[in-house]
């Protein structure tokens, strides 16, 4: 029966990692929803774009400038990269420059105006919840099947 203890500890650690991934995804989704719910809608202007290569495509991370309470603010909005849609296939590192000057609606945190988000769903948060749930469930399922087979023998 002592052979079972290291396997159970490993199982517990694997499930704990998957649970941590799910919790991180839920926190990201809730933070974004809360900011959209309590934030101040502001029309901003894209002032710069950082391009990130992802496989054979590019993700664009805009920096926006807006005025709130009579002051000028700049931020990189959460989910901003998903609001930047290209009209064609842009395959160069300079392709994000087409977005500079573009208006972008954001929600700004009234307590910290340097924090903003674009309305929408947190794709990364949803991805983390799905991946953590699927892998955690599969780990539990296969470990239970393994335990049943071990005890039947």
The whole-number average pLDDT for the span 106-131 is: 88
Give per-residue pLDDT as tens, 12-42.
999 999 999 999 999 989 988 998 899 999 9
pTM, to two decimals: 0.71
Q: Which residues contact 62 (CB under 8 A, 6 or more apart)?
A: 46, 48, 49, 50, 76, 77, 80, 81, 83, 84, 96, 99, 104
Strands 57-68 and 71-75: antiparallel
Beta pairing class for 103-108 and 57-68: unpaired
């Amino acid at each position: 029966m002592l052979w079972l203890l290291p396997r159970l500890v490993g199982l517990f650690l694997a499930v704990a990692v998957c649970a941590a991934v799910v919790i991180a995804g839920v926190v990201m989704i809730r933070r974004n929803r809360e900011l959209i719910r309590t934030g101040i809608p502001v029309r901003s202007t894209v002032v710069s774009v950082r391009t990130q290569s992802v496989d054979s495509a590019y993700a664009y991370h805009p920096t926006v400038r807006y005025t709130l309470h009579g002051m000028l603010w700049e931020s990189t909005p959460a989910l901003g990269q998903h609001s930047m849609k290209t009209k064609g296939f842009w395959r160069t590192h300079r392709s994000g420059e087409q977005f500079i000057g573009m208006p972008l609606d954001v929600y700004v945190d009234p307590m910290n105006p340097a924090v903003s988000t674009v309305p929408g769903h947190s794709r990364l948060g949803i991805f983390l919840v799905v991946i953590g749930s699927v892998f955690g469930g599969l780990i539990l399922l296969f470990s239970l099947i393994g335990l049943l087979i071990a005890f039947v023998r």
